[in-house]
Amino acid sequence: MPWSWRYEGADGQAIAGPVETFSSQADAESWIGQAWRELAGAGITAVTLVEDDREDYKMSLLPAE
């Protein structure tokens, strides 16, 4: 089952981002741990981890207040 990320902008709408697929949740999480700053710099404010069509969890890329 492939894992991937969906991306959202500041308005909460889906936006395009890197098309990456991973063989495991751990690989997907490792990648986002390395790429989140670049994604945030490109205007992505939140990501959702997806396994096939099932949403696992959503995570903000905005700095903690």
37-60 pLDDT tens trace: 999 999 999 999 999 989 999 999
Classified as helix, coil or strand, 38 is helix
Overall average pLDDT of the 4-29 stretch: 96
Nearest Cα to 3, choosing from 13, 19, 46?
Answer: 19
Q: Report the predicted TM-score, pTM, of the whole model to 2 decimal places.
A: 0.92
pLDDT at 65: 74
What is the distance between the alpha carbons of residues 53 and 65, in angstroms, rounded to a whole number? 32
Spans of all domains in the chain: 6-54
DSSP 6: E
Q: What is the rounded average pLDDT for all residues in the chain? A: 95
Note the helical H segments in 10-61. Answer: 25-41
